[in-house]
């Protein structure tokens, strides 16, 4: 762990992230900072699926469910306790408990990967339809009305620890970008640890890992719980950023969008989902400025083209191209100086 902390790549990623977080609010407009804040939150969500699917080999639609549970848990707790501290705690605990129940029956029941994806999709659909049926004054938890298909408005923003002062636009950006950087660095350390190496070996071959004496069910459950905690924290920041949370976070379209982020950026990497999320969200915002254009259709065509041209994703393709270029230069050898 200490060696990884002193590694040049880790220090470079941490330093570059801190520089960008500190520099962007100094020259970017308020609207840009506002959008970058939600991009960072959604990129954190993409990281959670990048961990569960890319590193753990567990493809599922449950990340949107944990994201939505985190957002609703934050909104309800923050409204009732008048502070973001209890809300953030509830946003992590509730998705982890839900993931523990789902993961126990899925992994210890030896359910195949296909059925695991179906189960996670079913959970999202159940939550989506359940929330939509909670409209009316009778459906409330404490002082927080569930709102049904209208969602929960006026969600309290993030505030400073041990103070009631809400964060400004710049403060929200610092918090969201800091969350993204912290999660990314923490997951890098996790995948360098013994736990992370075993998780990758389980993804490659469960039978081989079991023959080596590892209980693959525990490692699957562990990485699933970590992904749920990250997704829940991202959901809390999302609800606080927009002061709203609605049932659309449980929809199939949103769940599929997360998969697109990971595939476009590069499956099996941690930085890939972050890049894929930023690229897709920036293109969506840019295409939305043109009158009469449908961003979903354009993004669908771009995604199909990217899959055919970059089947491994952006990051693995760039790594392969860089490796080929360096090998070609090494094979050419040093040039002799001209006379």
Identify whether the C-beta of residue 232 lies closer than 8 Å to the C-beta of residue 96: yes
CA 198 vs CA 33, 162, 203, 204, 305: distances in Å: 39, 39, 9, 10, 35
State residue 4's pLDDT score: 52
Closest CA to 234 of 9, 49, 3: 49
Distance from the Cα of residue 302 to its chain's centroid: 22
Reported confidence tier of residue 333, pLDDT bands at 50, 70, 90: low
Identify whether the C-beta of residue 258 lies closer than 8 Å to the C-beta of residue 51: no
pLDDT digits (tens, 9 = 90+) for 119-163: 999 999 999 999 999 988 889 999 999 999 999 999 999 987 656
Reported confidence tier of residue 82, pLDDT bands at 50, 70, 90: confident
Q: Over 80: is that where the pLDDT of 113 sits?
A: yes
Query: Could you tell me which residue, 98 or 256, shows the higher pLDDT?
Result: 98
Query: Could you tell me which residue, 300 or 36, shows the higher pLDDT?
Result: 36
Q: Where are the domains of the chain?
A: 11-249
Quote the mean pLDDT of the chain. 89
pLDDT digits (tens, 9 = 90+) for 251-279: 998 998 999 999 999 999 999 999 999 99
Contacts with 192 (C-beta within 8 Å, 6 or more apart), sequence order: 1, 4
Q: Over 80: is that where the pLDDT of 108 sits?
A: yes
Distance from the Cα of residue 72 to its chain's centroid: 17
What is the distance between the alpha carbons of residues 185 and 11, in angstroms, rounded to a whole number? 10
State residue 14's pLDDT score: 86
Identify whether the C-beta of residue 116 lies closer than 8 Å to the C-beta of residue 194: no
**Phi then psi dihedrals of residue 141, to 5 deg:** -120, 105
The residues pairing with 153 across neighbouring beta strands, listed in sequence order, are: 244
pLDDT digits (tens, 9 = 90+) for 194-216: 999 999 999 999 999 999 999 99
Only one residue has tokens 């408005």, namely 153
State residue 276's pLDDT score: 93
């Amino acid at each position: 762990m200490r060696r990884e902390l002193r590694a040049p790549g880790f220090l470079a990623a941490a330093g570059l992230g801190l520089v960008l977080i500190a520099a962007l609010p100094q020259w970017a407009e308020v609207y840009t900072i506002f959008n970058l804040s939600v991009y960072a939150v959604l990129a954190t969500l993409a990281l959670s699926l990048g961990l569960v699917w890319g590193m753990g080999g567990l493809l599922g639609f449950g990340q949107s469910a944990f994201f939505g549970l985190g957002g609703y848990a934050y909104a309800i707790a923050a409204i009732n306790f008048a502070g973001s501290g209890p809300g953030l705690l509830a946003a992590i605990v509730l998705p982890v408990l839900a993931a523990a129940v789902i993961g126990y029956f899925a992994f210890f029941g030896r359910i195949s990967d296909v059925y695991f994806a179906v189960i996670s999709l079913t959970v999202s659909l159940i939550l989506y339809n359940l929330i939509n049926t909670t409209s009316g004054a009778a459906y409330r938890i404490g002082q927080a009305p569930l709102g049904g298909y209208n969602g929960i408005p006026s969600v309290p923003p993030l505030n400073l620890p041990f103070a009631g002062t809400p964060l400004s636009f710049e403060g929200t950006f610092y918090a969201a970008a800091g969350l993204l950087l912290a999660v990314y660095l923490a997951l890098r350390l996790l995948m360098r640890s013994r736990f992370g190496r075993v998780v990758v070996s389980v993804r490659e071959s469960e039978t081989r890992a079991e023959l080596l004496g590892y209980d693959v069910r525990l490692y699957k459950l562990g990485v699933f719980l970590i992904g749920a905690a990250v997704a829940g924290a991202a959901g809390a920041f999302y609800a606080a950023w927009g002061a709203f949370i609605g049932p659309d976070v449980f929809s199939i379209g949103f769940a599929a969008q997360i998969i697109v982020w990971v595939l476009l950026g590069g499956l099996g990497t941690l930085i890939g989902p972050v890049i894929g999320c930023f690229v897709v969200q920036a293109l969506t915002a840019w295409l939305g400025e043109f009158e009469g254009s449908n961003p979903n259709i354009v993004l669908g065509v771009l995604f199909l083209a990217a899959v055919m041209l970059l089947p491994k994703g952006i990051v693995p393709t760039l790594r392969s191209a860089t490796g080929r270029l360096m090998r070609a230069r090494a094979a050419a050898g040093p040039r002799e100086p001209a006379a």
